Structure 1
Amino acid sequence: MSQIVCVAGVGMVPFTKPGANEPYPDMAAKAVRAALQDAGIGYDAIQQAYAGYVYGDSTAGQRALYEVGMTGIPVINVNNNCSTGSTALFLARQAVQSGAADCVLALGFEQMSPGALGTHFPDRPSPFDKFEAMADELVGNGDIPLALRYFGGAGLAHMKEFGTPLNTFAKIRAKASRHAANNPLALFRTVVTEEDVMNAPVVWPGVMTRLMACPPTCGAAAAIICSEAFAKKHGLKSDVVILAQAMTTDKPVAFDARDMREVVGFSMTQAAAGQVYEAAGIGPQDIDVVELHDCFAHNELLTYEALNLCPRGGAQQFVDDGDNTYGGKVVTNPSGGLLSKGHPLGATGLAQCTELVQQLRGQAGKRQVEGARLALQHNLGLGGACVVTLYGKN
């Protein structure tokens, strides 16, 4: 039996810089309590919990949830790089849709350190060794931090094939700041212009300035997922449902194509989005609002094309025409995205969920996308995993 899956409650805490944050159990507990309050239920109604984080010891999910309650339910810890939060959501949705559980919690949190991402277990093979080898071959620049090299290299490939100018990425970053200015939970709320982004410190000449990259961030977010029958029985919100969801991992093309865009998951995204569109019986032209994985301005541009929001090679025109913001074809990252809202790895997917649920409920304040009925979420983790989720009004 396939159950209709509702998002009954969402919650998150303001994202902060490393060092300005509370300890992860406190951030996580506050996000969970906010989601429970939003849903109008107590923690004793939760039958399973999926807790996502990347940087933390085993069973940190239990440590966080014990601040909320110790009810003996299954707590499953999830780690899928930057797609961790949406992977927890994917598992929660599966549990409810299959009938294995009626009411499930998806939680994501991260307590990060300053600086670029790196490996923590240098005494064993890295999960990125194949990615590193391909990046070495295609772009070199081994002295640049790995994520910057991967996504910068992918943007460079787009620039070389389609003549995309650097200021297109600056326009994307400036758009993110304008959206975040209306989000009280965002880390960066100061509006920056295209010129500000272009004049920021250069991290890769001709390819990227510092403002084109998202910052290390601490935070937490959560969602209460339940069946429509459970929601109706207990008087919970059932106005937002998950219409379709897909999770993909890399295929041989990631390395065989010898293209940095494939290394960072272009085909993973394309496949997941295609599965979602087909399952829901819609097309990208039907989407009103999108929260996508803009860890770098370069990846936002690539994702426009991978989600088929614009034609392959059409992203520059999409940006120049303002089709990625209010008044255009589809409002992209009204929250400010990872670039301005911040990117606490484990929490990101559930922060995206929170934003889109609020948009569909009409609760997004100055960020509200008028008449939003279909919302698409894209969350990507290198190594790799991609989760695409479609939400709709019930």
Structure 2
Amino acid sequence: MTGKAFVIGVGMTPFVKPETREWPYWEMAREAGEAALADAGVPYDRVGQAAVGHCHQPSTAAQRAVYQLGLTGIPVYNVNNNCATGSSALMLARQLVAFGVEDCVLALGFEKMKKGALGAGAGGGDFAASPVARHYGVMAARHGFKDTPPTAQIFGNAAREHMERYGTTREQLAAVAEKNHRHSAANPNAQFRDVYALGDILSAKTVHDPLTKLQCSPTSDGAAAAVVVSERFVRERGLADRAVEIAGQAMTTDTEESFASGSCIDVVGRPMSRDAAARAYEESGLGIEDVDVVELHDCFSVNELLTYEALGMCPEGESGELAACGATTYGGRWVVNPSGGLISKGHPLGATGIAQCAELVWQLRGEAGERQVDGARVGLAHNIGLGGAAVVTVLRR
């Protein structure tokens, strides 16, 4: 990178259950975009380009969305990287700034989803055409293919492998969900704000053994946005009090390691996450020991455990114990998913990665209200999508 990039404004809508609000995607995008611009104190006509993430809307939905902010004729990019779409849009915005193409770029993500579990991503019912057919093929070779939601299957089977290999318990998996539901009670933007005891989580309806409904992220509607600017932009406009630096960021995709072992632990992305984290640490000059607060991709409780290991928070196999001992909540070594995470805050695919950025910016500015992590100076965001992409971002105040 030839220059630094900073986030000076963030905004998001509440995340809500699909089909519960009359809310076109362009209106939710406008709401988030206007909030981010107001937070930055920057009018839309100062934005040079826009990177806009969505998965379930038509191909130029990004243009329809940003036209609600202004008809300025800027380049608009439609970004789709499955569940890592939002962070991919943020990374594109950061690159445009850091390489000197623009001084001010809007990263925007939104999603309007349908009720019910996500499918396997097959094109028109043709599983062979699915972008994740190879991933599910690895799962099927070892575990078969059941009549349960495919994404819950592949992560549920990763959980079973983790239990068999390392002795991880159902209680440890449920501890992740207990923590994240508890955290979301203080987040007014969260889709769910109910607190559950460990026993409630364990006794909830099984989606795919060992994962219960309260350990699975829901489908959601919502949007989030971030204004990313250059160091010159910050300096010339006196915005240092708003600025949070993107100190390191990396995206990785699947390598042979994802598939060679035949393990769902690898095929759902632990190697990608590990490699992305290593690159982000190297660029930022910071390590996990410097991080105070983490927003990570807990699409299912097991993925939070796998991500602890990938980020270097504990050795492989010890993540269950880390979750159960309180090290990842308030008063512990890190606070992980103070927003409630995907499990409780919600998971509108195109918005998720940027919403993680928004939460961390609020945390590092000391603006997170009841969720505030005391003394937070360094944050880390982790966002992953099957197919595959993993993005790790290190933010520094």
TM-score over 0.5 for the alignment?
Answer: yes
Structure 1 vs Structure 2 CA RMSD = 1.1
- Alpha-carbon distance in structure 2 between the residues aligned to 1:60 and 1:319: 39
Counterpart position of 1:99: 100
Matches of 1:248 and 1:204 in 2, distance apart? 28
Cα displacement (A) at 1:121:
2.5
Separation (CA, whole Å) in 2 of partners of 1:214 and 1:139: 22
Equivalences for residues 1-394 of structure 1 within 5 A: 2-21=2-21, 22-118=23-119, 119=121, 121-122=123-124, 125-205=129-209, 207-237=210-240, 238-393=242-397
Question: Which deviates more from structure 2 when the two are superposed, residues 316-325 or residues 116-125?
Answer: 116-125
Query: How much has 1:131 moved relative to structure 2?
Result: 1.1
State the Cα distance separating 1:141 from its structure 2 match: 3.6
CA distance in 2, matches of 1:135, 1:353: 32
Secondary structure of the 2:194 match is coil
Q: Which runs of 4+ in 1 moved over 4 A?
A: none
Deviation of 1:235 after TM superposition, in Å, equals: 2.9
Q: Is contact 2:85-2:351 (8 Å) kept?
A: yes
Deviation at 1:150, TM superposition (A): 1.1
Identity value in percent:
52
- Cα deviation, residue 221, structure 1: 0.1
The CA distance in 1 between the partners of 2:13 and 2:208, in whole Å, is: 33
TM-score, L = length of structure 2:
0.97
Identify unmatched segments of 5+ residues in structure 1. Answer: none
* Aligned-pair CA distance for 1:273: 0.4
Inter-partner Cα distance in structure 2 for 1:203 and 1:83 = 23
Cα distance in 1, alignment partners of residues 282 and 61 from structure 2: 37
Cα offset for 1:311?
1.2
Secondary structure of 1:343's counterpart equals coil
Superposed CA deviations along residues 72-124 of structure 1, whole A, max 9, x for unmatched, are 00000000000000000000000000001110000000000001112363257
Counterpart secondary structure, 1:153: helix
SS at match of 2:105: strand
What is the total number of aligned residue pairs between the two structures?
A: 392
Give the distance between the partners of 1:2 and 1:145, measured in 2 at CA: 44
Please identify, of 53-62 and 139-148, the stretch whose mean Cα deviation from structure 2 is larger. Answer: 139-148
Unaligned runs of 5+ in 2: none
**CA distance, structure 1, for counterparts of residue 202 and residue 16 of structure 2:** 25
* Matched letter for residue 17 of structure 1: K
Give, as a single letter, the amino acid of the residue that structure 2 aligns with 1:227.
S
| Cα distance in 2 between the residues matched to 1:79 and 1:283 | 29
The amino acid that maps onto 1:16 is V
CA distance in 2, matches of 1:138, 1:292: 27
Shift of 1:231: 1.6
- Alpha carbons 1:103, 1:226 under 8 Å: kept: yes
TM-score of the aligned structures, taking structure 1 as reference length? 0.98
| Secondary structure of the corresponding residue to residue 16 of structure 1 | coil
Contact 2:3–2:98, Cα closer than 8 Å, also in 1: yes
Q: Which amino acid aligns with 2:123?
A: F
